[in-house]
A and B are shown apart, each in its own frame.
Chain A
Amino acid sequence: MIRWIFISVLSLGVIGTAVWGYQEHQEKNAILIQAENNYQRAFHDLSYQMDLLHDKIGTVLAMNSQKQLSPQLAEIWRLTSEAHNDVGQLPLTLMPFNKTEEFLSNIGTFSYRTAVRDLTKKPLSKEEEQTLNKLYEQSGEIKKELRKVQYMVLNDQLRWMDVQLALATEDKSDNKIIDGFKTVEKQVEGYEEANLGPTFTGVSSKEKPYQNVTGEKLSKEQVIQKAKDVFSIPEKAKMNVTKSGDGADVPTYSLSYEGKNKRGYMDMTVQGGHPLSILVSRDVKDAQFSLYDGMKEAEKFLQKHQYDNMEAYQTTQYDQVGVYSFLYVQDDVRVYPDSVQVKVALDNGDIIGLSAKNYFMNHQERDIPKPALSEEEAREFVSPKVHLQEHHLAIIENDLKEEVLVYEFVGTMGDNTYRIFINAEDGIEEKVERLKQSEMKFGQNT
């Protein structure tokens, strides 16, 4: 009797486990299929967009009227961004696929630039037409390769989940999808930027050198000595200094120390020992300094370290910390690319942060031309709806990453404040920004 009860309980248990296991299995499968479907959608979308992109470039080539050209170029721009978006949803991150992505975004930049240009006044140049021709060819090849991979995926029922697995475990055995994508990448690597002409130099991939880093090369000891000038290091704190590797844009020493409830970090250039970035992390107590007092401290700090003619253009308080953005002023012209950020703890006025990357990348004494337009003339180019309050001459970097001399107008329309940059040479509206500093706290008054 007891044995029978025991057996039936046990078998009930077994059946229960089996049912539970089956359900778990089903659920897991459902989730896997869902993840797979997401990948599949992104992938098929990508092949479709590339096909469409190729077509569109083809139609642009055959077009005669400049008026029709702009919307088509804008369409190309949109397609590249869609395709780019699709690539971002595929598990390709740790696989060399960047050249293709860069290629896509370069097509985007090229088509954007030409689309926003007034083509009736400044039609496509010979070189640009050649570039388009090349792009047509190359996008055709990419399209072809992608369609091949797509055919394999559909025909052999390849799964993206396997790609993910293969990449995660670095399985050396062949994965057809990965191979296909590698072929695409090889193709693109072949397209040297040089043979696409000067109109197609990728804006985004170009990096600027640090042009304002001067001075003697310093040794480790000299750098430590210099660091002590810049920030106060607690006496017993141990300094840790390392030199940057090959990938660094500019060789630096990274110094850090661990004090009591305090940690400091600084990047200093090997050449000249200029501080590129400082971060001190500690608890900041109740503010004794106002944002204004903090600004005075920041100004003192900048003066002490030979950042001359700096002017604060944005000041912001985050709890008990003031963050100040300064820019360089040369002959009353505000130079936006030469900016420095300073962070001040408002409990005792200590400098707890500096970011001078942009300053050392861009700063130089510039030959600033006389503006061709007067301030009144430039004003004419601003929308009459905006009520202008302030104006300066300024140098900014425009969409094409070139430095241009502009009139900077700050004005209001309704409750909003705008910063408008008008080119001082030809009155082009280079940039319009709506200035926003704060946001209401969400979830406070529920």
Chain B
Amino acid sequence: MKSIRIIHLLMMVFVISVSVTSTHPQLTQAFSQQVVQQGATGDDVIELQARLQYIGYYNGKIDGVFGWGTYWALRNFQYEYGLEVDGLLGREAKKKLVKATQYDEQYVKQQIQSGKDFKYYGGTWKKQNQPKETEQQNKQNNKQAEQSGATAVNVPAGYSQNDIQLMANAVHGEARGEPYEGQVAVAAVILNRVESASFPNTVSGVIFEPRAFTAVADGQIWLTPNETSKKAVVDALNGWDPSGQAIYYFNPETATSSWIWSRPQIKKIGKHIFAK
């Protein structure tokens, strides 16, 4: 009886000492409570991608955006582990995934931060993780990692961040100070023109068409756009059009062309009249 107690005690001491001296970061850092689905971004997605890569289901880049590659990887995982195949990371899938894999958050985020191409296959990562770092450095790295986990962003289909930036420049130059819907409407007019037969077929063609926009003519397009104009552009690209499919707009106080008044008017938002 006594000897069993001592063994117990010894074991407890052993367990505590191991947990204290362990230099490994928490390997079983688990997901948040939320269900993760396609299109999501953030830390849960990084963990999901890393864990799927650990067991070889995901070969793409760990970038923190739940894209199609991650989706298929998760579905394959669900299929192989006898779960419902729906591409959603729910509680069951999380449990199985955590059980089957290890996740070293610090290491993964460091690698992402450094910008190097890296893979997180089970077995290989430990060797790379050998060089030990001081507490302080770790903390710093952690902080950085928290700031910018994901290295990719979602973009509306067919457009790049640079296209969004260019349009945001135009919207900011043309309609800063207008209500939000007025800015979305200006962005929508640019897109309606791209679709229209009587205008160029690209965003840049429409924006830089001579005499099309005053902000382009007087250089205001090169002011640095704010976040609002970027949001307005993304909304327009995602299908919002408060202009009512307008292809012209003008400020009645400053419009110089009499022809523009002959266009059938749709509505007025802020200072701009939108027309067909």
Distance between B226 CB and nearest chain A CB, rounded to angstroms: 13
A364 near B: Cβ within 8 Å? no
A75 near B: Cβ within 8 Å? no
B269 near A: Cβ within 8 Å? yes
Segment touching A, from B48-56, B97-105, B132-140, B152-160: B152-160
Once A204-B195, A290-B35, A355-B239 are accepted as A-B contacts, the answer to whether A93 and B259 lie under 8 Å apart by CB is no
Once A439-B160, A440-B151 are accepted as A-B contacts, the answer to whether A292 and B37 lie under 8 Å apart by CB is yes
The residues in B between 185 and 212 inclusive whose CB is less than 8 angstroms from any CB of A are 195-201, 205-206, 209-212
Task: Tell me which residues across on chain A come within 8 A of B69, comparing CB atoms.
Answer: 415, 417
- The answer to whether B35 and A293 have CB atoms under 8 Å apart is yes
Segment touching B, from A16-24, A53-61, A220-228, A247-255: A247-255
Segment touching B, from A130-138, A316-324, A367-375, A377-385: A316-324
- The answer to whether B238 and A323 have CB atoms under 8 Å apart is yes
Distance between A390 CB and nearest chain B CB, rounded to angstroms: 9
Distance between A57 CB and nearest chain B CB, rounded to angstroms: 19
A173 near B: Cβ within 8 Å? no
Q: How large is the interface on B (under 10, 10 to 19, 20 to 34, 35 or more residues)?
A: 35 or more
Distance between B263 CB and nearest chain A CB, rounded to angstroms: 7
A362 near B: Cβ within 8 Å? no
Distance between B11 CB and nearest chain A CB, rounded to angstroms: 40
Distance between B215 CB and nearest chain A CB, rounded to angstroms: 14
Segment touching A, from B1-9, B60-68, B169-177: B60-68
User: DSSP majority for the B interface?
Assistant: loop
B167 near A: Cβ within 8 Å? no
Once A84-B201, A95-B259 are accepted as A-B contacts, the answer to whether A316 and B240 lie under 8 Å apart by CB is no
Task: Tell me which residues across on chain B come within 8 A of A445, comparing CB atoms.
Answer: 113-115, 151
Once A438-B65, A439-B153, A444-B151 are accepted as A-B contacts, the answer to whether A247 and B264 lie under 8 Å apart by CB is yes
- The answer to whether B257 and A94 have CB atoms under 8 Å apart is yes
- The answer to whether A254 and B34 have CB atoms under 8 Å apart is no
Distance between B260 CB and nearest chain A CB, rounded to angstroms: 6
Using CB atoms, name the residue of chain A closest to B158: A436
Task: Tell me which residues across on chain A come within 8 A of B37, comparing CB atoms.
Answer: 290-292, 295, 315
7 shortest A-B CB distances, which residue pairs?
A445-B115, A247-B264, A290-B34, A281-B180, A88-B200, A98-B198, A105-B197
Known: A96-B259, A267-B242. 7 other contacts (CB 8 A): A101-B199, A105-B198, A245-B267, A246-B265, A292-B40, A343-B238, A440-B152
